[in-house]
């Protein structure tokens, strides 16, 4: 599984100007142990065969590439295709990475998984893999996120996982990551920290990307088989950036394929009202890597807001920061209101209820498709389904 392009990473974990390994001394040894184990497993046919088996028979890959004909007709312009990661077991792309890291942790002799979660989908996927592999599991989740994603909290507990409420700070994903890392430091002898996005100290951004590459590999093959050419545009939401880098990565060398990452515009451009790192952030270090971070003038980590818990995070994966610097990917943002309206439209017109995270990508496609030629086509990553967001839809007046 090749993992090098113009973005990297190099041997020290740098994607051009971003990335690295910024970790406390107590975590350096386990992070280095993880890197060594992953580099061996990545090239081990037996490991890859077992992962491929589980992705197919347990998770439900390959996912379909669906031509959204009614949405296309409504908007005019480009043909719109949905990469249906929402059809995977547990309801989102997160299971790809969790199966990979779970097998790796088992290979390393770990018996316990610790994870963070915002929208709850990574937590559910981690809990699912822990049950499958017979491992103990603890998931840290911000108090506010637990309230707005209550169905996923119940699912994790039903799967046998302990869900720990985090009431510090903003009570969201950033604070859940803090608590998860504290747990890992304390219990590193038997515990693997299962990072849910393409974040953190090296090797996590590389490893998470590699486990999600299957999204783009399938999309590439399906494009050629179903449409007869590569897509003109890829669109995906960007929180930490796992679903988007999974879709984008294998298309990076294809100059004719435009790529658009969509961040959370929230309530508006004021700091604290959104989670648009490339619009309002600047380079800094958070949770182990040097990347774009939303921060105050004094350098403190800023509060964030998004109607979608999975995009409500002040930093972005370092590979995305480098793709932004290179200009290879265009990063934009859409508001809470636009995302909610996009979810409603897709549900009404295609019979698919998207997660609010994915709805940000749908909203961007709604803006762009009408001005594109009819013979062009867009792939939008439908990274998760919206069951978990029904309460938010209802409170927003969508239901």
Answer whether 119's CB lies under 8 Å from 269's CB.
no
Q: What single-letter DSSP state applies at residue 161? A: P
Active site annotation includes 50:
no
As a whole number of Å, the end-to-end CA separation of the chain is 44
- DSSP-assigned letter for residue 57: I
Question: Tokens in use for 69?
Answer: 């004909």
Structure tokens belonging to residue 83? 């990469």
Catalytic, out of 273, 289, 359, 383: 383
Residue 298 sits at φ, ψ, to 5 deg, of: -85, 0
Catalytic residue list contains 359: no
CA neighbor of 88 nearest in space, from 55, 110, 111: 55
- Of the candidates 94, 13, 48, 110, the one whose C-alpha atom is nearest the C-alpha of residue 322 is 13
Catalytic site residue from 83, 94, 258, 388: 94
Q: Which of 35, 116, 338, 364 is catalytic?
A: 116
With a CB cutoff of 8 Å and minimum separation 6, the contacts of 74 are: 345, 349
Q: What DSSP string runs through 284-306? A: EEETTEEEEE-B-TTSPBPP---
116 is catalytic: yes
Structural contact between residues 319 and 247, judged by C-beta atoms closer than 8 angstroms: no
- Angle, helices 173-186 vs 25-42, to 10°: value is 90
The residues, ordered by sequence, that sit 6+ positions from 56 with a Cβ below 8 Å of its Cβ are 62
Determine the Cα–Cα distance for residues 331 and 289; give it in Å rounded to an integer.
Answer: 20
Cα–Cα distances (Å) from 130 to 127, 160, 177, 198, 354, in that order, read 5, 9, 19, 20, 26
Name the DSSP class of 354. B
101 in Cβ contact with 191 (< 8 Å): no
Catalytic positions, please?
94, 116, 383
């Amino acid at each position: 599984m090749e993992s090098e392009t113009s973005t990297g990473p190099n041997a020290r974990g740098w994607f051009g100007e971003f990335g690295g390994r910024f970790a406390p001394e107590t975590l350096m040894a386990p992070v280095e142990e993880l890197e060594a184990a992953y580099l061996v497993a990545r090239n081990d046919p037996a490991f890859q065969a077992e992962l491929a088996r589980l992705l197919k028979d347990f998770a439900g890959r390959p996912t379909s590439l669906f031509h959204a004909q009614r949405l296309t007709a409504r908007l005019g312009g480009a043909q719109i295709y949905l990469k249906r990661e929402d059809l995977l077991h547990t309801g989102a792309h997160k299971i790809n990475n969790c199966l990979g890291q779970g097998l790796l942790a088992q290979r390393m002799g770990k018996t316990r998984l610790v994870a963070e979660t915002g929208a709850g989908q990574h937590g559910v996927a981690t809990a699912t893999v822990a049950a499958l592999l017979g491992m103990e599991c603890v998931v840290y989740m911000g108090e506010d996120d637990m309230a707005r994603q209550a169905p996923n909290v119940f699912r994790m507990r039903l799967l046998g996982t302990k869900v720990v409420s985090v009431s510090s700070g903003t009570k969201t994903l950033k604070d859940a990551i803090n608590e998860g890392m504290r747990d890992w430091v304390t219990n590193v002898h038997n515990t693997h920290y299962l990072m849910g996005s393409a974040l953190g100290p090296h090797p996590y951004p590389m490893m998470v990307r590699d486990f999600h590459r299957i999204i783009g590999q399938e999309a590439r093959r399906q494009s050629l088989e179903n449409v007869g050419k590569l897509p003109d545009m890829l669109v995906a939401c960007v929180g930490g950036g796992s679903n988007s880098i999974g879709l984008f990565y294998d298309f990076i060398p294809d100059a004719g394929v435009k790529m658009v990452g969509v961040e959370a515009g929230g309530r508006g451009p004021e700091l604290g009202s959104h989670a648009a790192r490339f619009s309002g952030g600047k380079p800094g270090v958070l949770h182990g890597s040097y990347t774009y971070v939303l921060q105050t003038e004094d350098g403190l980590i800023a509060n964030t807001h998004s109607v979608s818990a999975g995009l409500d995070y002040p930093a972005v994966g370092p590979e995305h920061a480098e793709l932004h610097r290179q200009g290879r990917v265009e990063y934009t943002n859409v508001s809470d209101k636009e995302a909610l309206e996009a979810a409603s439209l897709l549900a009404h017109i295609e019979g698919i209820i998207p997660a609010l995270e994915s709805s940000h990508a749908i909203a961007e496609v709604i803006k762009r498709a009408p001005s594109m030629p009819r013979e062009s086509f867009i792939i939008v990553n439908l990274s998760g389904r919206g069951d978990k967001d029904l309460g938010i839809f209802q409170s927003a007046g969508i239901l």
